[in-house]
Amino acid sequence: MFEAYLERHAACDLDGVLALFAEGAVLEDPVGSPAHVGHEALATFFRETHARNGRLRVDRVGPVVVCAREAAAHIRASAEAADFALTLDVYYTLVADPSERSIESLRAFFQFD
């Protein structure tokens, strides 16, 4: 599920990303910003993010660590748009629903050097 999220998000696949989330899912990206709750709010967030950043290069830095329904991973994301270039380390935490078929919660911790 985590790898599918990274692949779909990096490719700006809005429908593919949304299909991974439970109906009432909560997204906090980055942590500390207002949470996006439910598919409508998630669709708005991802639509705006994809339009702003375009396709991303996403490289995992180390393994995905899993314990029960929770996972954590460190990734390095790079984006190049007409007016900016960005490389950012992100630490994701994900909670799957009880069936482990969709994402209930996703949080993104940004590392700034």
| Domain extent listing, the chain | 2-111
Distances (CA, A) of 106 to 17, 19, 25, 72, 98: 12, 14, 8, 10, 15
Burial environment of residue 3 by CB neighbours within 10 A (0 to 12, 13 to 18, 19 or more)? exposed
Tell me the CATH number of domain 2-111, given options 1.25.40.10, 1.20.1270.10, 3.10.450.50, 3.40.50.300.
3.10.450.50
CB burial readout 71-105, b (16+ within 10 A) else e: bbbbbebebeeeeeeeebebebbbbbbeeeeebbb
What one-letter code names the amino acid at 26? V
pLDDT of residue 65: 96
Quote the pTM value.
0.90
Average pLDDT over residues 65-78: 95
Q: Which residue is it, tokens 């809005």?
A: 14
DSSP 33: B
* 3-state SS, residue 41: helix
pLDDT of residue 100: 85
The residues with which 97 forms a beta bridge, in sequence order, are none
What one-letter code names the amino acid at 93? T
pLDDT category of residue 19 using cuts at 50, 70 and 90: very high
Report whether pLDDT(112) > 80. no
